[in-house]
Amino acid sequence: MQPHHTTQPQTLGNDTTAQDLTISAGKAQLLSMLYFLPLAILFGLSYILLWPNKFGKAAYQGALPDNLSSTTMLALFIAVIFAGIVVHELIHGITWSMFAKKGFRSMKFGVLWKSFTPYCHCTEPLRVGHYITGALMPALVLGIVPLVISLIKGNILVFSFGIFFTLAAGGDFLIVSMLRKVDAGLLVQDHPSKIGCLLHGSDGAEVNP
């Protein structure tokens, strides 16, 4: 599955009324792609219509320095992608820390070595509205903003960067979709072992401010 905010074990204390909002891995992969496709089509067609001469193999060749070897270009590509994935998780953490009681101390970063995927995890539950804000921020900063810039500048490299990191946010779009009808004042936290999250107070119990 494409890089996205990865769940890590954490529970909501002894709360036994938490609502389980989870999804199977297969369905999650399919839906993540479906959420990405409309944006890819929208920005892809817009770019081609606005910059028909700056799309395709020739555009990539013209955007890259002539003196770079294929090995160097591959190394730069890998470095940019890896750095972007790390920044993706940092953006999650920085945004969520603005709403967490303990700030950045509540953010946990690491790598799932089995899939070599960096992750960010908030160790305390957040209100749904705050959680959604942090979930969407990497897609906005690394995906949508570069795509808009590429439409203005006609830069195929910036366009490709934006498309990749919009795709990388597919899992985030999925989680947000699962939370779209939930009261923004409730508390949410990553599910300890499944793809999805736990809602605290979803049975109608009062949620303390």
H/E stretch holding 74: helix 70-97
pLDDT at 17: 61
Contact present, 35 and 173 (Cβ < 8 Å): yes
Q: What is the pTM of this model?
A: 0.82
User: Half-sphere exposure of residue 83, counting CA atoms within 13 Å on the CB side?
Assistant: 7
Contact present, 116 and 197 (Cβ < 8 Å): no
Rounded Cα–Cα distance for residues 64 and 47 (Å): 19
Contact present, 50 and 151 (Cβ < 8 Å): yes
Contact present, 172 and 163 (Cβ < 8 Å): no
- Look at strands 117-122 and 107-112 and give their pairing: antiparallel
| Residue 24 to residues 135, 179, 191, 199, 206, Cα–Cα distance (Å) | 19, 16, 13, 18, 30
pLDDT tens digits for the chain (209 residues)?
333 444 333 344 445 567 888 888 788 888 889 999 999 999 999 999 999 999 988 888 888 887 878 888 889 999 999 999 999 999 999 999 999 999 999 998 888 777 677 788 888 889 999 999 999 999 999 999 999 999 999 999 999 999 999 999 998 999 999 898 888 778 998 776 677 788 886 443 333 33
